[in-house]
Structures are given as C-alpha cells and as structure tokens.
A and B are shown apart, each in its own frame.
Chain A
Amino acid sequence: MWGAFLLALVPLLWILWTVVSKGGHLLLDSQWWTNSQKGITARREGGGAIHAIQGTLIQGLTTAVISVPIGVMTAIYLVEYGRGRLAKAVSFMVDILTGVPSIVAGLFIYALWVTTFGFQRVGFAVCLALVLLMVPVVVRSTEEMLKLVPNELREAAYALGVPKWKTIVKVVLPTAFSGIITGVLLGLARVMGETAPLLILGPYSKSIATDLFSGLMPTLPTMINQDRTESLQPAVDRVWAAALTLILLILLLNLAGRVIARLGSVKK
C-alpha cells in the first residue's frame, strides 16, 4: 500500500518539477506579473502574463457568480424540497451534466451564441460554456454539505414557528456555509483550467482586455495553447511559466477552500 501511494506521488512530483524547472525562472521576474505579451513574438523574450491571469480570474469569477445561485438552489431543492419523480429527474440530469464533455459544451454555446444569435465571441460566451461545467460540481458538493446539517437544527426552528424558507436561509445555509464555499472554490479550480471550450469560443489576444462583452479576452489556458506548438526557446519557456502560473492559481484557490473549510466546519 505504501508502494501504491509512492507510485501516485511520482507523477505529481514529476509534473511539478518539470513545470517549475522549465518555467519557474520567468515567474521570478516582476515583469511577468505586471506586463502583457503585447508586441512580443515567439522569437523575443520578455513580457508577462498579467493579461491572461486577469482574463482567467475575470472569467472564473463571472462563471462562479452565475453558477453558484443555480447550483446552490438546485441542491436546496434536492435536499430540502425534492421528492418524487421530478427530484429523481433533476438528480439524474445533474449526473449527465457532470458527464458532458467540455468540447461538447463549447460547441453547444458556439451554436447558440454565434450561429443562432450572431454575437461576437467574447469572454462572456466562454463563461456560459464554463457554467455548464461548473453547475454540476456546485450542486453535488452543496448537496453533500446540506445533508450533513443535523435535522435537530431544522426541527428546532420549525418548533419555534419559523417558516421553512427562513429556516433554510438563516439556519441551514449558514451551518453548511464553509462547506459550500469549499465546493464552489473547487469547482472554480476545475473550470479555470479548462481549455477545450476556449479553443472554440475564446480566441487569444496578447493585450490586456477586461471587458467581458467586447473584444477578445486572453486566458492562461489559451496563452499556453497559442505557444505550445512553438519550438523557439523564449516561447517554450513562456508555455511552462504560464502552466506553472495556472497551477499556482488553482492551488491557491484549493488552499483557500481548505482553510475556509477548516475554520468553520459543520459542528456536529
């Protein structure tokens, strides 16, 4: 069993070592955190990743803002209200949504956003595709946390004549709060590293762009994708550095999730 554990650690350490050793030096340069890639070609060194970091954060945040209410409300329905065939159907649909391949989500939004409505490929379209991928994660983790809330709390509230919705908002949700946040952050980590829908919906740009509704919005995955087919050293270095930045960003979110979970875990 020790062997299996060590075996599982090998790829982890190997990946981290590869990424750090090949891209780490760029992250030490303050330029990486303050500049974009504007005007930098595959042949030239320099420039930073701030445009892509911003794009990834903005898209991630927007995706979360849309997904969390839908996901949490669906979970509340499943745990607190849902019984019977509708609830079973919702639960099953969430499972299917978990299994929707990310490239199919991208194709679907492209058909809807560009082909049907004739809109431009903007950051917001990417967010919509990511919502499809994030909602099931939020539903599942929230569901789990709501189920951990002891029934005594609910019963006590009802006994005091508190309406059901108030019980949920004031008692159940706050009790499960930290767990829900953890789930949201983990879901966010998942969608921020997603690449396939961005290939279809999110063209890359080397300049800073923060408007979700017009222009091309660069992200870390598309930055990696743009230069990963280059064989020139400056571009290769940047690919690994962008990969490391993305991993660090996701790790940071995971860490935040764990800290929040530890600080206020559900009291039993």
Chain B
Amino acid sequence: MKIQRLGLVASVALVGSIALTACGSDSNDPGTSGSSSSSSAASDCPKGGTLNGEGSSAQKNAIEEAISSFQDECAGTTINYNPTGSGAGIKQFTAGQVDFAGSDSALKTVEKDGVVESDAAAKYCGSPAWNLPMVTGPIAVSYNVKGVDKLILTPEVAANIFAGKVTTWNDASIAKLNSGVTLPSEPIKVFFRSDESGTTENFTKYLKAAAPDAWTTDPGKKWLGKGEGKEKSAGVAGAVKGTEGGITYAEWSYAKDNKLGIAQIDNGAGPVELTGESVGKAVSAAKADGEGNDLRLKLDYATKEAGAYPILLVTYEIVCSKGKDAAKTALTKAFLTHFASADTQKGLEEIGYAPLPDEVRTKVDAAIAALS
C-alpha cells in the first residue's frame, strides 16, 4: 500500500536526475582565447582523457587560461585544476591523488618534519619527480592611501612596515623616500594571507634576501609578521580596497583587478615601477638551476639592476619523469607543451603574469619532451 509510494518517490527522483544528466553539455563556445589554434601543440592532440592538477592559487588565472585554450584545441580532453595551495598540491601529488601539482616553490630536497618532499614524490612516482617552472609573475605591494598615487619603498622600509615597526603613513622613513608626496598621518593597516601560501613564502624570501637586517624571521608559507589575516589573494586585495591606509602583498592581477595603488620598489638602483617590461627584465635575469631536466628557477631578489622589478614568484608544475599510465603521460606532455608555448606564455602578460624567458623556455620544452 503506502509503502509503494516510497518506491514511487525514489524512482521519480532517480528518473529526474538521470534526465538532468542526459541533457547537460560540456561544450561552451570558445571565446577570444580559443583563437590560438595555430599553435604547434594542436598537431599532436591526444584523444580525450582527463588530467587532474592541484596546488598553487597564484597561478590560478594563468592555468585557467591555458586549460581553456588547450581544451578548445584538443576537443574531448578535460583538465581540472584546484587552486587549494602549494602545500596541498604537493601533498595530494605524493598521495597519488592528482596527476600534477602546482607549487610556488620547488620540491624541497632537505628534510622537514621527517619528510623530504622530493624523495616522497619520487617514491610515489617510482622515478624522480621533476619541477618545471611554468608561470612567473610579480608580487605587487598594493596599498590604498587617499591622494597618494605614487609610493616608493625600499626593501628595508617595506620590511619594517610588514613587521609592524613602521606604523603610520607619515613616518619619517617613508617620507624620506617620497619627497613631494603628502602622506597622511593615519595608521598603516597591514593585511596578510591567513591561509598558508606560496605567495607569503616568496614575499618573505624577498624581504629576507633584500633586507636581512629589517626582516629577521625565516621565510615560510605561514605569515610571521604583523597585521590582520584575510583568506586568499582576493581576500587581502579586497580588504585593502575597502580599508583606507591598508597595504598588502598580492599577485599583480589581484592588485589590477581591484584598482589598488602599487608601490615602486627601490632595491638600490632607483625606484622601479611594476610594468610588464620591468618584470620581464627581472625574469630574464633569472637563471635556470637544478640537475638535468629537474629545473629550478633561481631568482636574484636583491638584484641591483636598474629597471628590474625584484619581487617575483615562480610557479612550478611538478610531474613524474616516468608516468604510470601512458595515456596520461601523453596528455600531460601535450598540455604542458601547450602551456609552455610562446603563444600561451605571451597571452599571460595581459592578465598580470610574465612570459618565461626564452632561455628557460627552451629548457622546459626539452624537459617536457623527455617525459616518458
């Protein structure tokens, strides 16, 4: 009797969801980014397949563009990327949960908490895991002070601000660098990333390298300065936007999207504005490091080169050098080749990243070709 209605309800629900399943579509019109089908990668498209990646949120916008244009080119393929954080990416990679990891620092070769990251990854892979530098971008020191359109900071002053030693905008040390600018007497409100983040690590690496006297704590993913924590880059950027007197560090694209002021950095050779050109200059000075195809990009944070913007961040894609599954390896190679191609890299410039220098790109290409 009535009990049969339970079956009825259940089957209606089941049929409903199956019907929904049937009419969904994965095909979205390729937009402007789909026009790059002339790229060389198109010739060797794998037939379908899915690739899962996870890690750095700094490269989210870059890899999303690359995925979008790759999927337009190679119909039937699916690449997923979850921007949960560099540490999470490495952890899920070594646990065999994802096919590649995105990380703002290369796998560590020294022991930490009884684990050597590169060994753990190699153990999972059954072969060495390679770091492939793929996305470089500047970290913008972004601020929101009414009437101050141009702000110059030296590493020392920046370190003092972020360490909570300089607390008002009209502090003598800031005024000295910015003669002619009327600085208000309001307090400086520092915002930092409350989640553990590769951006924090790279920014503190810069502070430690360029101003070792002012910044005394060790660089790391967890913020050890002062201030107020917000979640993710969008959180800190949004907070600065809404707070008079706020300052933070965030990827360039977030500073641009929120229309924040971006400080010029004076590493010792005069103030450098953050532009595609000044970033390109610093990135091209970066040297490829590492053994064989396991590449690391060595950045000179303390660079005194004129016109080079020194606060940079590199995101690596971490992959097994010998894949476990031939189809997945083919897809990984095709996708990474597309990502590293000159076309894709050039397209990243307009969304706040910098293309890899050609010298590095050639090495990355060679490493991708050597994946098996």
Chain A residues within CB distance 8 Å of chain B: 34-44, 46-47, 50-51, 53-54, 57-58, 61, 114-115, 118, 120-121, 169-170, 173-174, 177, 181, 203-208, 210, 215-216, 226, 229-232, 260, 264
Give the residues in chain A near B235, CB-CB below 8 Å. Answer: 229
Q: Decide if B17 touches A174 in the complex (CB within 8 Å).
A: no
B243 close to chain A: CB less than 8 A: no
CB distance from B20 to the nearest CB of A (A): 6
CB distance from B48 to the nearest CB of A (A): 12
CB < 8 Å neighbour of A35 from B20, B27, B351 = B27
Mind listing 24 A-B residue pairs with CB under 8 Å?
A: A34-B23, A35-B25, A37-B28, A38-B78, A39-B71, A42-B61, A44-B33, A46-B31, A47-B28, A51-B26, A57-B17, A58-B21, A114-B97, A174-B1, A174-B2, A181-B6, A203-B52, A203-B82, A204-B82, A205-B52, A206-B80, A207-B78, A216-B80, A229-B231
**A-contact bits for B18-36, CB 8 A (1 contact / 0 none):** 0011011111111101100
> How far apart sit A207 and B29, CA to CA, in the bound complex (Å)?
14
User: Considering only CB atoms, which chain A residue lies closest to B61 in the complex?
Assistant: A42
Give the residues in chain A near B29, CB-CB below 8 Å. Answer: 46
Q: Decide if A54 touches B65 in the complex (CB within 8 Å).
A: no
CB distance from A164 to the nearest CB of B (A): 17
Residues 5 to 52 of chain B near chain A (Cβ within 8 Å): 5-6, 9, 13-14, 16-17, 20-21, 23-31, 33-34, 50, 52
Give the residues in chain B near A61, CB-CB below 8 Å. Answer: 13-14, 17
The binding surface of chain B is classed by DSSP as helix
CB distance from B126 to the nearest CB of A (A): 15
CB distance from B159 to the nearest CB of A (A): 27
Task: Give 10 new A-B contacts, CB below 8 A, not counting A121-B92, A210-B21.
Answer: A39-B30, A40-B28, A41-B68, A42-B61, A50-B20, A53-B20, A57-B20, A174-B3, A226-B83, A229-B235
Q: Decide if A121 touches B68 in the complex (CB within 8 Å).
A: no
Q: Decide if A40 touches B68 in the complex (CB within 8 Å).
A: yes
Q: Decide if A173 touches B21 in the complex (CB within 8 Å).
A: no
Give the residues in chain B near A39, CB-CB below 8 Å. Answer: 28, 30, 34, 67-68, 71-72
B232 close to chain A: CB less than 8 A: yes
Chain B residues within CB distance 8 Å of chain A: 1-3, 5-6, 9, 13-14, 16-17, 20-21, 23-31, 33-34, 50, 52, 54, 57, 60-61, 64-65, 67-68, 71-72, 78, 80, 82-84, 92, 95-97, 231-235, 237-238, 254, 257-258, 351
Q: Decide if A54 touches B24 in the complex (CB within 8 Å).
A: yes
Give the residues in chain A near B31, CB-CB below 8 Å. Answer: 44, 46
Give the residues in chain B near A43, CB-CB below 8 Å. Answer: 61, 65, 351
Give the residues in chain A near B57, CB-CB below 8 Å. Answer: 229
User: Considering only CB atoms, which chain B residue lies closest to A181 in the complex?
Assistant: B9
Give the residues in chain B near A50, CB-CB below 8 Å. Answer: 20, 23-25
Max chain B CB contacts within 10 Å: which of A42, A46, A47, A231?
A: A231
Task: Tell whether A229 pairs with B17 under 8 Å between CB atoms, given A34-B24, A38-B26, A264-B2.
Answer: no
Q: Decide if B28 touches A173 in the complex (CB within 8 Å).
A: no
> How far apart sit A2 and B218, CA to CA, in the bound complex (Å)?
58
User: Considering only CB atoms, which chain B residue lies closest to A203 in the complex?
Assistant: B82
Q: Decide if B17 touches A54 in the complex (CB within 8 Å).
A: yes
User: Considering only CB atoms, which chain B residue lies closest to A216 in the complex?
Assistant: B80
Give the residues in chain B near A260, CB-CB below 8 Å. Answer: 9
Give the residues in chain B near A173, CB-CB below 8 Å. Answer: 3
User: Considering only CB atoms, which chain A residue lies closest to B1 in the complex?
Assistant: A174
Q: Decide if B17 touches A38 in the complex (CB within 8 Å).
A: no
